């Protein structure tokens, strides 16, 4: 066998390894994964309740080559009282968004923000739910020690195939309360909102009956990076979780709940489900709400 054949075989093996790596992309990756990757799309998903602060911050400085993904318009349908503040977009709308952003079905995605992954986690969870390789950049923008790029990056639009949301990845409002009696319903909000001691944005204070408070901030260490898988398994065992397949996560509007879902997957506890309407939907109805009092 000649030298040319040897080169071809080595190249083929490298391509297979690279393809296998893409398919097995973990839900959380270190910043070193950005070195030397081909085709990866880096997504900046910074966001704030106070409006377009994320886009302004992105334009002032982002990881070179990163595109901006708007949580409010790219990762959610229009908010309504009936559906909540960040309803899931239709499969058609999400496919159009991804294509418009220049993300093809073959492009692995690594997303980041500047808040520990609480907004970028929404994009990563949505993509992984569709079988698209995607990961959170552990520690976010703070882990990038290279120069930042200013302005806006626009990739050429592509056609992204329409993929239906898997039914088993979600739980609807009518199912949640009954489900909490059989499985585990995790509330990712801060304790004061869970207990009804404070409510900043939604119609009523409190939480869904039988829900367990699991603040998503507990997934992170002091450096705003994820705890180790062993530490995360220990954390979620305190909530009575050994396997996430019987877990439904919610929060204020279905965003930080994705952080909990990714943390459980990162810990090797399998994949849970999302109640996308979350408290913003529930609190706008006359369904029961539990408070400390």
Tens digit of each residue's pLDDT (9 = 90 or more) over 163-185? 999 999 999 999 998 888 888 99
pLDDT given at position 293: 61
pLDDT value of residue 52: 83
Q: Express each pLDDT in 9-22 by its tens digit.
A: 333 333 333 333 34
Note if 251 is an active site residue.
Answer: yes
pLDDT of residue 36: 64
- 3-state SS string for the chain: CCHHHHHHHHHHHHHHHHHHHHHCCCCEECHHHHCCCCCCEEEECCCECCECHHHHHHHHCECCCCEECCHHHHCCCCCECCCECCCCCCHHHHHHHHHHHCCCCCCCEEEECCCCCCCHHHHHHHHHHCCCCEEEECCHHHHCCCCCECCCCCCCCCCCCCCCCCHHHECCHHHHHHHHHHCEEEECCCHHHHCCCCCCCCCCCCECCCCEECCHHHHECCCCCECCHHHHHHHHHCCCCCCHHHEEEECCCCCHHHHHHHHHHHCCCCCCEECCCHHHHHCCCCCCCECCC
The reported pTM is: 0.91
Q: Where are the domains of the chain?
A: 24-143, 167-282
- In CATH, what is the architecture of 167-282? 3-Layer(aba) Sandwich (3.40)
Among residues 17, 43, 251, 258, the one annotated as catalytic is 251
Q: Which CATH superfamily is domain 24-143 in?
A: Rhodanese-like domain (3.40.250.10)
Residues of the chain with pLDDT below 70 are: 1-23, 36, 293
């Amino acid at each position: 066998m000649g030298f040319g054949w040897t080169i071809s075989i080595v190249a083929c093996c490298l391509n297979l390894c690279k393809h296998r790596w893409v398919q097995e992309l973990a839900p959380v990756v270190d910043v070193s994964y950005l070195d030397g990757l081909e085709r990866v799309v880096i997504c900046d998903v910074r966001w704030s309740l106070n409006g377009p602060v994320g886009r302004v911050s992105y334009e002032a400085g982002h990881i070179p080559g990163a595109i901006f993904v708007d949580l409010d318009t790219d990762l959610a349908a229009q908010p309504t009282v009936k559906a909540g503040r960040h309803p899931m977009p239709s499969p058609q709308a999400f496919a159009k968004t991804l294509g418009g952003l220049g993300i093809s079905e073959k492009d692995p995605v690594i997303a980041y923000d500047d808040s520990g992954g609480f907004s970028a986690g929404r994009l990563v969870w949505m993509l992984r739910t569709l079988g698209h390789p995607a990961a959170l950049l552990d520690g976010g923008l703070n882990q990038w020690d290279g120069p930042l790029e200013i302005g806006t990056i626009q990739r050429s639009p592509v056609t992204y195939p329409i993929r239906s949301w898997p039914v088993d990845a979600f739980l609807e409002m009518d199912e949640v309360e009954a489900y909490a009696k059989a499985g585990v319903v995790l509330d990712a909000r801060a304790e004061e909102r869970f207990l009804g001691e404070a409510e900043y944005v939604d119609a009523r204070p409190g939480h869904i009956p039988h829900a367990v408070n699991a603040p998503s901030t507990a997934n992170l260490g002091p450096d705003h990076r994820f705890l180790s898988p062993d530490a995360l398994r220990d954390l979620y065992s305190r909530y009575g979780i050994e396997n996430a397949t019987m877990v439904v996560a919610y929060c204020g509007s279905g965003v930080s709940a994705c952080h909990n879902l990714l943390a459980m997957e990162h810990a090797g506890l399998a994949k849970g489900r999302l109640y996308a309407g979350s408290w913003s939907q529930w609190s706008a109805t006359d369904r029961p709400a539990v408070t400390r009092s």
